[in-house]
């Protein structure tokens, strides 16, 4: 087990395939399973084994946290990347931890060949590399700033992955962001703010470090979608339209 604490008393531990970020009375916003806003002392990233086929995710999460000796509830992400490859980074008011694997890349060609949308969600037993990012800011973020921090973290993740792997993400990526409801207030979290800039730096370094931990010299890392065991390419074309101009008198479109 390893532990790291920052100035805001955020602690990170990993044990038995579970990564935990812990700080009392944090408000989290998760894009993962059973996500949304939640006030909790912890957030988790749980490594699942190859061939994992559980669908009772709540029961499975409880089992894994109990096995690891983590009792406090909190948002949970799942990943096919071993927790031993988790890496963290700190900058200013922000701490981030990431697990990064790209066995199931999701590519977005700018000149799509044309195709159809998926007709079903992926099954839970699909092996998943996953790039999961957990971010904590020791600021009291406004509601919009907390939501925007998800976008800032996802953008930094995508930019880092494009530079390091050529893929903007995988089919199963997720983000959890948290803040201190009693901290110094911050109305915004964009890239030009202290929180946003620190988040970008932390996510970049944590994702790069996790990729190095997972792949070493990169021999077994896919270089293209064809090299990957799993993955998708979004080849469907969307129809572009121009919004109609509203009638200033009646609000009707014309």
**For 28-63, how does the pLDDT look when each residue is reduced to its tens digit (9 = 90+)?**
999 999 999 999 999 999 999 988 888 999 999 999
Tell me the CATH number of domain 2-233, given options 3.60.70, 3.40.91, 1.10.10, 3.90.550: 3.60.70
The pLDDT score that the predictor gives to residue 7 is: 42
Conformational region of residue 73, where left means phi above 0, alpha means psi within -120 to 50, and beta covers everything else: beta
Per-residue pLDDT band for 85 (boundaries 50, 70, 90) equals very high
pTM beyond 0.85: the answer is: yes
With a cut of 90, say whether residue 5 has pLDDT above it: no
Q: Report the percent of the chain where pLDDT is more than 90.
A: 80
Per-residue pLDDT band for 108 (boundaries 50, 70, 90) equals very high
């Amino acid at each position: 087990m390893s532990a790291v604490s920052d100035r805001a008393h955020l602690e990170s531990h990993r044990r038995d395939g579970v990564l935990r970020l812990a700080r009392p009375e944090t408000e989290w916003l998760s894009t993962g399973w059973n996500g949304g806003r939640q006030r909790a002392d912890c957030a988790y990233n749980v490594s699942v084994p190859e061939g994992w086929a559980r669908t009772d995710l709540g029961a499975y999460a409880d089992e894994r946290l109990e096995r690891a000796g983590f009792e406090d509830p909190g948002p949970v992400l799942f990943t096919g990347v071993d927790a031993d490859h988790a890496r963290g980074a700190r900058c200013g008011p922000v701490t981030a931890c990431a697990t990064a694997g790209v066995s199931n890349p999701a590519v977005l060609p700018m000149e799509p060949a044309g195709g159809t949308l998926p007709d079903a969600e992926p099954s839970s037993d699909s092996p998943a590399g996953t790039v999961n990012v957990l971010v904590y800011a020791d600021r009291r973020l406004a509601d919009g700033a907390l939501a925007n921090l998800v976008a800032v973290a996802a953008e930094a993740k995508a930019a880092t992955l494009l530079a390091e792997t050529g893929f903007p993400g995988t089919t199963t990526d997720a983000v959890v962001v948290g803040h201190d409801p009693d901290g110094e207030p911050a109305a915004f979290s964009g890239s030009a703010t202290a929180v946003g800039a620190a988040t970008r730096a932390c996510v970049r370094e944590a994702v790069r470090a996790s990729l190095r931990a997972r792949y070493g010299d990169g021999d077994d890392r896919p270089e293209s979608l064809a090299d990957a065991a799993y993955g998708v390419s979004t080849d469907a074309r969307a129809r572009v339209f121009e919004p109609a101009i509203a009638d200033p008198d009646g609000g009707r479109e014309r």
